[in-house]
Every structure is written in structure tokens, then in C-alpha cells.
Amino acid sequence: MAVWSVHQSELVSAGLCGEMYRRRYVERDVVPPGLSAHRGTAVHGAARENHRQKIKTAIDLAVARLREAAVAEFEAAIARDGYYLSPDEIAAGRKASVGAAKDTAIRLTDLYASRAAPTIMPALVESEFTIGLPGEIELAGRLDVATVDGRVLDLKTRGRSMNQRDADSSVQLTMYAVGYRALAGKPPSGVGLEVLVDTSTPKHQRLVSSRSEGDIAALVARINALAKARSSGAFLPVEAGHWLCGPKYCGYWTSCPFVNSQRAAAADANERS
């Protein structure tokens, strides 16, 4: 029996929408990411470069250098993966929408440099891990960053604020905690979200949490449930009308069998007119 390697991004996707998961990870019908995803990739690229050199120097890179890294990462991701435009972005124009996304990436990189970076002394940066589980399953992932005092952090870029429940319930942070234990041989001292919020005045949030054996047991149960769904081919779509279920966030929306996209598109157009 072949080993099924489930990546952290796969498990998160399955928790959002079963149909989206099926198309992407079972049928391998890959659609380009949206500009918001590229925005996040750009900021992560700048943070990665900063963290890697900070392990050696204990000093953060200059803001100008971080901006250059973010722009380079953004442009490389656009060239490599393409991009998906929402109806509003199409209306704004392709060039303007891409330019606005790049500007936002630079703005959030500045926020990372001024508020988040000075508080992070990294020990592990984007370290990959693989953990064997019962039933010919392995969990694969990659930490964002772990600090010298054993904290595991996930850097997020968002259009709105997050809350404590987001940190406490994050499946990704639970996976990071498990991965850190595999890499470091001990549990993390804590986990947390470093959130860069693109509001009219960009805002930084630090949400601190922890993980227990109960959280890890829930993660294993989630992995086992996904394994059963893959075996049966039964994937439940997200509820119609959910914020995720629309052309702004889902590249599969117009061809999804669980959505009357023609009716929904007409209603959306009427709301904007």
C-alpha cells in the first residue's frame, strides 16, 4: 500500500470546502491563486530572507532591502503561477489590480519590518518536517518560523483583523506545533499568529496561544476523516452563500456543480450596480 502524504495546506483546504479540495488535490485541477495569495507570498518571502540572515547576524535587514525582496517574490510568483482575478479586479483593470496588490505587499512588508520583525529572534526558518502516522499516512509541512525561546509563529496577511479564537483553533498552528516537536525533540513553548492587517491604517496583531495533547488528538482525527473521505470519494462542499463561496475567493466557482453561478453572478452584478 502506498503511503499517503498529506501536506498542511491540503488539510487546511479540506476544512474550508470539500469540493475545492477534491478539484485541487484529487482531480489535480489547479487554478491560479488570487492576487491576495501572491500578496501574502511576497511578504512571506521578505520575512524569510530577513529571518534567515538574522540567525547569522541577530540584526534585521533594512526596510529598503525587505521591500526589494517582497517585490522580487511577488513578481516571481506572478510569472510562475499566474493569477486569478475577481470580478471587481477585472472591473478595475488587470494592470491596476496587479499594481495595487504589489503596493499592498510593500505596505505590509513595511509593517512587518517596523512591528513584527524586531520582536522575533529566529532559530528555525521554513524548516520542513515529515511525521509518520498509523495507516500508511504521513503528515508533511513547513514551519514559518520558530524562535530561540521555542515559540512557533505563523505570519498572516489579512484584509481584516483576526481574534483570539482564530489563534486557539488554527489547524495550521497545531500542525506547526507537531512539526516543531519532530524537529526540536520537544514541544514548543507556545504558538502564535503575527497578523499584518491591510486596513486604511495598516495594523499589526500578535495573538498568543498554546497547544495541548487534546489539540493534537483533534488534528489526528481530522487527518483520519480526510483519509476516509478520499477513500469513499465523498467530499461535502461549503454551504452556498458562505463568504468563501463566490467568485472573489474561489477560482472553481463558475464551474462548481453545487452552485447556480449564473443566478449568483446576476445577483452580485445587481448589488454592484
Facing residues of 157 across strands? 196
Q: What is the pLDDT of residue 87?
A: 87
Q: What is the pLDDT of residue 31?
A: 92
Q: Are strands 122-125 and 137-142 parallel, antiparallel or unpaired?
A: unpaired
Q: What is the pLDDT of residue 241?
A: 84
Q: What is the pLDDT of residue 266?
A: 59
On the 0-12 / 13-18 / 19+ scale of CB atoms within 10 A, 195 is buried
pLDDT top residue among 264 and 181: 181
CA separation for the pair 55, 174 (Å, rounded): 24
Average confidence (pLDDT) over 168-183? 96
Q: What is the pLDDT of residue 98?
A: 97
pTM for this predicted structure = 0.90
Q: What is the pLDDT of residue 3?
A: 77
pLDDT top residue among 3 and 60: 60
Average confidence (pLDDT) over 261-271? 58
Q: What is the pLDDT of residue 106?
A: 97
Q: What is the pLDDT of residue 270?
A: 52
Share of the chain above pLDDT 70, in %: 95
Q: What is the pLDDT of residue 22?
A: 96
Averaged confidence pLDDT in the chain: 92
CA separation for the pair 24, 135 (Å, rounded): 23
pLDDT at residue 149 tops 70: yes
Q: What is the pLDDT of residue 254?
A: 86
pLDDT at residue 1 tops 70: no
Note the pLDDT tens digit of each residue in 205-247.
Answer: 999 999 999 999 999 999 999 999 999 999 999 998 898 998 8
pLDDT at residue 264 tops 90: no
The number of CA neighbours under 13 Å toward the Cβ of 247 is 18
Q: What is the pLDDT of residue 118?
A: 98
Where along the chain do its domains lie?
32-119
